[in-house]
């Protein structure tokens, strides 16, 4: 059994190489550049953990985890184009550095390369993994489309938002665990419990993300607090504030959304607090953490095998940055 | 055995349905819209022909042909974004009608859906088809990148251009035939001959395309002759003209490339003729047609089975529109 850090290191050792041909460099260097920006590699590590929950790590789990990480990076490259984001982890995005056409095409070849890695796994698992991988890929695209639709929508309900986040974020975490479990020989019931664990964990993770962006300790958060508020992003917090505000508070929120000036973040945070959004977000997160813990509990393997996943959950939802 | 028109009809009967979920319609309706714009369905028909060359049509050839057509449409949607093309077959392109983000994402889900269709074929063929499909997909992306690179390059040699067109156009025709042949149980040697037939045919096809755009009969061509010249596209014709022109002709070509006025097409065509480009293009096309015919000849099946492919070749390279 390996813990989070050990699995991150194992994966990085496998992953940190060039994944593309040399030629044409105008296409493949930009794709490789983006992989070098780094990241916590949470999804591939979850694939390895899902695998090791049931057995020794299967050698095919590494190409599979690589496919998952490449897929995730493909979505980031294309999302950055759609969001016109200039930076990712403090580095220029692909379209910013190499132009939109190359970023578009670089994302495309990254997705195809992900499928090439899937094709390396044992024939026994190939069809099942391929099916889950493609289903998940479509769902992530659906989530991104809904996210864009919501930006333009006059109002979004909490249920709609949870549905969107589930697609955009959670299903890939869930599927990463489950694909690893398939290679570990897990039965259908255990696979499902693990998938549901991942989905609940993903929602808790996103609530934590939204929460930290507003209420995080600036000392620990590492980036400017209030970025979502400045960008008028529809987050868990804003949606709940709009749902619970009285007429006067709602009018004040709407007024702040229409402004850009100094004090916007402080005023919005004060309104969030007045609407009880901070306590509500903590309890909603706790609800999903409990749900995730319940699913993990029910998986039919000995308790000590579950420790890395329990630790991962702690890491993802207790983090302060 | 079925001829071109019969296979087009068979494929269309299988293909003309919705290939995507209903929800979110904001994502999937644009993708489905693009499929409805139509096309000659040359690649899926080639898959069916490659299959029937060796055996009765395998039922899996239809999902495979569908995957190929979806892949082709994915490339068109993304190419249209990169080229900022407003129209495709006289209809608004996806990004023009629904915006760039949706076109980008709609292309992405179309590629994933193509892989879903691949996953429907018999396990015996799955890995081999998947490998060829992904290799080809990357090559097509490479071709598109080179095409964009060439637009900015001061000069492009004929060999470089043929390499680019081979990737951008020919490998998908070749792979369509070969994937069909795999399902037909063809041996390695026959698969290779068929692939090489497709590659040569693709080059002849592209030369014919470039030729018609310049020298086609406006009555038969269906669209305005000289579009490539107006757009300063580096075609087989322009590249050869620049390679064979004397100093005075070359200066005149460069001058015309820098202008946009009336008479540009006529003047360039006169220069092309003076450089012997029209006769050269016909003979280059004939060279590739002969090469294709030679590969087809060498495939170890009875001659009458090859008739649909020979007819297809005639259709693609003798067409006047």
Structure confidence by residue, pLDDT tens digits, B242-258: 999 999 999 999 999 99
Chain A residues close to B171, C-beta within 8 Å: none
Q: Are residues A174 and A199 in the same domain?
A: no
Mark which of A168, A183, A198 sits at the end of a domain.
A183
Cβ neighbour number for residue A174 with a 10 Å cutoff: 26
Q: Quick one: pLDDT at residue A80? A: 96
ipTM of the complex: 0.96
Interface of A with B (CB under 8 A): 21, 23-24, 26-27, 78, 81-82, 100-102, 104-105, 107-109, 111-113, 115-116, 119, 123, 126-127, 130-131, 134-135, 137-138, 141-142, 144-146, 148-149
Q: Which two tokens stand for residue A238?
A: 């804003």
Q: How far is A264 from chain B (nearest CA, A)?
A: 29
Which residue, chain included where needed, has tokens 């009875």? B302
Q: Which of B194, B222, B225 has its CA nearest to residue B312?
A: B194
Q: Which of A61, A75, A235, A104 has its CA nearest to residue A171?
A: A75
Q: Are residues A164 and A204 in the same domain?
A: no
Q: Quick one: pLDDT at residue A121? A: 98
Q: Quick one: pLDDT at residue B281? A: 96
Q: How far is B76 from chain A (nearest CA, A)?
A: 12
B31 vs B109: CA distance, rounded Å: 8
Q: Please, what is the angle between helix A171-183 and helix A123-152, to 10°?
A: 180
Which residue, chain included where needed, has tokens 């309900």? A157
Q: Are residues A194 and A169 in the same domain?
A: no
- Burial category of B52 from C-beta neighbours within 10 Å (exposed 0-12, middle 13-18, buried 19 and up): buried
For A116, the domain range is 1-183
Q: Are residues A50 and A170 in the same domain?
A: yes
B146 vs B91: CA distance, rounded Å: 27
Q: Are residues A221 and A267 in the same domain?
A: yes
Which residue, chain included where needed, has tokens 């020794």? A56
Which residues, given as ranges, of chain A have pLDDT below 70? 221-222, 321
Q: Are residues A7 and A143 in the same domain?
A: yes
Q: Are residues A149 and A207 in the same domain?
A: no
Query: Which of B112, B113, B145 has its CB closest to that of A105?
Result: B145
First to last CA, chain A: 27
Instruction: Kindly report the CATH number assigned to the domain that includes residue A98.
Output: 1.10.600.10
Q: Are residues A198 and A131 in the same domain?
A: no
3-state secondary structure of A234: coil
| B134:A146 CB<8 A | no
Cβ neighbour number for residue A153 with a 10 Å cutoff: 12
Q: Are residues A141 and A206 in the same domain?
A: no
Bridge partners (DSSP) of residue A88 are: A91
Q: Quick one: pLDDT at residue B261? A: 83
Q: Are residues A170 and A313 in the same domain?
A: no
Q: How far is B116 from chain A (nearest CA, A)?
A: 6
On whether the CB atoms of residues A44 and A69 are closer than 8 A, the answer is yes
Q: Which residues of A105-132 are buried (b: 16+ CB within 10 A; e: fewer)?
A: bbbbbbbbbbbbbbbbbeeebbebbbeb
Total residues found in chain B within this entry:
321
Number of domains in chain A: 2
Mark which of A139, A166, A183 sits at the end of a domain.
A183
| A24:B145 CB<8 A | yes
Q: Are residues A192 and A157 in the same domain?
A: no
Q: How far is A124 from chain B (nearest CA, A)?
A: 9
Kindly report, residue by residue over B196-252, the tens digit of the pLDDT.
Answer: 999 999 999 999 999 999 998 877 766 778 889 998 999 999 999 999 999 999 999
Q: Are residues A42 and A119 in the same domain?
A: yes
The pTM is what?
0.96
The contacts of residue A126 (CB under 8 Å, 6+ apart) are A118, A119, B123, B126, B127
Mean pLDDT by 10 residues, chain B (321 residues): 96 97 98 95 98 98 98 98 93 97 98 98 97 98 97 93 97 98 98 98 95 87 81 93 95 94 92 96 96 98 96 88 65
Chain B residues close to A27, C-beta within 8 Å: 141-142, 145
């Amino acid at each position: 059994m390996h813990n989070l850090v050990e699995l991150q290191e194992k994966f990085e050792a496998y992953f940190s190489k060039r994944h593309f041909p040399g030629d044409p460099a105008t296409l493949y260097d930009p794709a490789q550049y983006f992989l070098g920006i780094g990241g916590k590699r949470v999804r591939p590590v979850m694939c390895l953990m899902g695998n090791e929950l049931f057995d020794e790590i299967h050698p095919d789990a590494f190409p599979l985890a690589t496919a998952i990480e490449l897929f995730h990076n493909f979505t980031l490259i294309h999302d950055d184009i759609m969001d016109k984001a200039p930076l990712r982890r403090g580095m220029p995005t692909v379209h910013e550095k190499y132009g939109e056409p190359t970023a578009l095409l670089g994302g495309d070849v990254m997705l195809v390369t992900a499928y090439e890695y899937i094709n390396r796994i044992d024939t026994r698992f190939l069809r099942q993994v391929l099916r889950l991988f493609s289903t998940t890929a479509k769902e992530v695209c659906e989530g991104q489309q809904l996210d864009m639709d919501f930006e333009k929508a006059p109002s979004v309900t909490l249920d709609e938002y949870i549905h969107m986040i589930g697609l955009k974020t959670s299903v890939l975490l869930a599927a990463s665990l489950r694909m690893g479990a398939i290679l570990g020989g897990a039965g259908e019931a255990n696979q499902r419990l693990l998938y549901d664990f991942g989905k609940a964990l993903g929602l808790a993770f996103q609530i934590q993300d939204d929460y930290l962006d507003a209420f995080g300790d600036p000392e620990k958060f590492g980036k400017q607090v209030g970025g979502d508020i400045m960008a008028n992003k529809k987050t868990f917090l804003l949606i709940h504030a709009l749902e619970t505000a009285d007429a006067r508070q709602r009018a004040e929120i709407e007024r702040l959304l229409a402004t850009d000036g100094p004090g916007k973040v402080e005023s919005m945070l004060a309104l969030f607090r007045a609407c009880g959004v901070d306590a509500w977000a903590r309890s909603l997160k706790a609800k999903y953490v409990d749900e995730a813990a319940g699913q993990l509990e029910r998986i039919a393997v000995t308790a000590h095998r579950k420790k890395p996943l329990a630790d991962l959950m702690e890491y993802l939802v207790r983090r302060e940055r």
